[in-house]
Copies of this chain bind each other. A is one copy, B any other.
Amino acid sequence: MFYHDKQLQYTVRVDTPNPHFARMLQQAIGGVEGEIRVMMQYLFQAWGSRGPTKYRDLLLETGTEEIAHIEMLATAVAMNLEGSPGALKEEAAKQNPMVAAVMGGMLPRHYLSAGMAALPENADGTPFNASHVYASGNIVADMYANVAAESTGRVLATRLYQMTDDPGMKDMLSFLIARDTMHQQQWLAVIEELGGYEGALPIPNSFPQAQEKRDVSYAFISTAVNDIEPPTGRWTSGPSLDGKGEFSVQRAKPMGQEPKLAPPIPEGFAQTEQMEGGLLGGVKNAVRNVRNELGGDD
């Protein structure tokens, strides 16, 4: 279960409120790279965790920390929506100040729906959708999903850092960026504990590889035409990273048939011309329509 403290995990200070930056911060709250996603991802992984309990505990810890990050960002959004930003003052003299603010890059719903507060949405106003919560039940697959989330999350945070000159905002982001550094590390550390490349791959490592089509398990297949050379690299020759195969290159070629589906079932009400004996079907259809004209039942 959960508890709260009224203080924030780290100071949130806005020196010059900027409604446009408030919009940008939304991406870190409700974007696919944002904090709602990782909070829910880590907690759902924890709540469904099976196997050694220490990983459940680890996920619960960091999932709980992420709630505090949403709180910091939501506070930062609300603070950036306050006051009368300098850049908009001149404009505001000429016209309705709300219009001026929105035209200055504000997210319309920050005013219309929230009365100057954060939303669980991204910077384009798309609400967070929980299908982004990955929790597969396979711990290494989930760890890679977590590393990916923290990587795009840190990239996003650095772009936000770049966009602002506000010392308070830069300070808050420097904290969040550092936490993303650690979170990348800790999920990779779990993979290392669980065997690294050689022990953990291919994921899932509990499915017997004898049951996969092993002649294409370590082959790079090139789909390029016109004698284009496939790109060479670590993936085209030498031992595979899991130590269980040798990389090779194959040209893509069809190994399967040209598919031929059965005619439509009558209950599907395709056009008559699609039915078996299409031409005959057309005639039959015409006959039926005549019968319909005459009032007959089919």
A271 touches B98 (CB 8 A): no
Nearest CB in chain B to that of A109: its residue: B124
Interface size class of A (residues with CB under 8 A): 35 or more
What separation, in Å, do the CA atoms of A32 and B124 have in the docked complex? 16
A3 in complex: contacting residue of B74, B128, B180, B252, CB < 8 Å: B252
A231: chain B residues at CB < 8 Å are: 54-55, 57-58, 61
A139 in complex: contacting residue of B5, B158, B179, B270, CB < 8 Å: B270
A293: chain B residues at CB < 8 Å are: 244
A151 touches B138 (CB 8 A): yes
Say if the beta carbon of A43 comes within 8 Å of chain B. yes
A114 touches B135 (CB 8 A): yes
B107 touches A124 (CB 8 A): yes
Task: State which residues 82-104 of A face B: CB under 8 Å.
Answer: 82-83, 87, 95-99, 102-104
A162 to chain B, nearest CB (A): 5
Known: A67-B67, A117-B47, A124-B125. A58 touches B261 (CB 8 A): no
B134 touches A126 (CB 8 A): no
A208: chain B residues at CB < 8 Å are: 288, 292, 297-298
A88 to chain B, nearest CB (A): 11
A226: chain B residues at CB < 8 Å are: 5
B126 touches A270 (CB 8 A): no
A65 touches B221 (CB 8 A): yes
Say if the beta carbon of A38 comes within 8 Å of chain B. no
B186 touches A235 (CB 8 A): yes
Q: List 11 A-B contacts (CB under 8 A).
A: A2-B223, A9-B254, A33-B136, A98-B267, A113-B152, A115-B265, A115-B268, A138-B271, A158-B204, A186-B235, A205-B285
Q: Assuming A32-B134, A210-B296, what are 20 further A-B pairs, CB within 8 angstroms?
A: A5-B225, A10-B255, A47-B75, A50-B117, A61-B221, A79-B261, A98-B162, A109-B123, A111-B267, A117-B135, A128-B130, A129-B130, A141-B155, A155-B203, A162-B267, A182-B219, A186-B220, A200-B271, A206-B281, A210-B292
